[in-house]
Amino acid sequence: MITAIYQKSELVVTSQIDSPSNAHLVIKRITQTNLSQGIEEKMISRDKFKSITNSFNGKNILVVGDIMLDRYYFGNSDRMSPEAPVPIVDIDKVVDRLGGSSNVALNLFTLGANPTVCGSIGDDLDGEILKEKLIESKISTDFVITASDRPTTVKSRIISKDHQVVRMDKEATHDFSKDLNNQIIASLSDAITGFDAIILQDYNKGFLNKESIPIFIEMSKNNSIPIYVDPKHKNFDLYTGVRLFKPNISEFNNFLEESKNFEDDAFLFSNQIKSEVLLITKGADGSSMFHENEHYSIPTKAQNVHDVSGAGDTVISTFCLSDICGASPQESAYLSNFAAGRVCEEVGVVPIALEMLKEIYLSLET
């Protein structure tokens, strides 16, 4: 197999030559325009793809973080408001969907895994709706707690002609109390060994904080469970020693006090937090993965982008499952990047279904 890599800012292709020692390498420079094609054609074989995706079924994944309700108001607009320079949208349908870390769990379920969420809802109607939707989606709510001092997080979007007009958020973002942190961790302590992987999905709503994050990481390490992190800026440097750390490019750049060179900054940061894999998503520019002193660049797969909401949830879900099912980090990054591009072609937050992911199969070599 041929792999496109960046090595100290130099783009090369390495291909092993059969020999008694298997020690010789042919090194060939390739251009940026050929990088996308090379990765797409050579990153993974059909047999490996089938082996990975067939192993998704039955994997038990714990998703820890901020669960939310995504509410969509669909309608049409053909006139402006006389009160302000804004459109009037005539609403004809309201749809509630799983959001935040519960959308990560939904992605895992539609890929064939058995997800469990650990999060918090408010003592309100929206919390009841969210919990009911989790149950309807066959996502375990054994570790969903009700917090009386904060509302259920709801992200409301008004959509007109497939375009988002405005978003309204109802939420609390202060950190959970120490007592509540202890309650959450105590509830998980006896069940943690039943999971194949843990995803920490942080939206800076207070569930994951400076008290709870180190304990979750310690619990996973003590039980040899790989941990995958989708961070926000507030807790960036608390996630040390994890299997995967996956910020987007905006979050990564905002965290840096001073940015000089993207590649050097990424390697330095990865070493600082001791992550095995650093995957930085870059929207239309695909993603960059840093692993074992190599920089892999993976192009985007989206053809017609309608909505980028939830794409990061799809990336970490697909990467996590692929990684624990025998894929290399490069293969996991490639599959997760394709999955994210595919859901961006849909309107609203849509999970990646296994059948959607299998669309990649036809483009792979045998």
Give the pLDDT confidence score for residue 41 in this predicted structure. Answer: 41
Q: Which residues are catalytic?
A: 313
Structure token digits, residue 136: 């309807």
- β-bridge partners, 117: 63
Local confidence band at 366 (pLDDT 50, 70, 90 cut-offs): low
The pLDDT tens digits of the residues spanning 94-153 come to 999 999 999 999 999 999 999 999 999 999 999 999 999 999 999 999 999 999 889 999
Among left, alpha and beta (phi > 0; psi -120 to 50; other), residue 337 is alpha
The pLDDT tens digits of the residues spanning 274-283 come to 999 999 998 7
Calculate mean pLDDT across residues 243-265.
90
Query: Shortest CA distance to 63 belongs to which of 96, 107, 110, 128?
Result: 107
User: What CA–CA distance (Å, rounded) separates 53 from 217?
Assistant: 27
- Cα–Cα distance list, 259 to 235, 262, 263, 266, 269 (Å): 19, 7, 10, 10, 11
Calculate mean pLDDT across residues 147-167.
92
User: What CA–CA distance (Å, rounded) separates 223 from 192?
Assistant: 8
Query: Do 206 and 234 contact (CB within 8 A), yes or no?
Result: no
Query: Do 119 and 102 contact (CB within 8 A), yes or no?
Result: yes
- Cα–Cα distance list, 273 to 6, 241, 295, 327 (Å): 21, 6, 17, 23
CATH code, 43-214+279-363: 3.40.1190.20
Task: Write the DSSP assignment of 275-331 as a string of letters.
Answer: -SEEEEE-GGG-EEEEETTEEEEE----SS-S--TTHHHHHHHHHHHHHHTT--HHH
The pLDDT tens digits of the residues spanning 282-311 come to 877 888 999 998 999 987 765 554 445 557
Phi, psi angle pair for 281, to nearest 5°: -85, 145
The domain spans of the chain are: 43-214+279-363
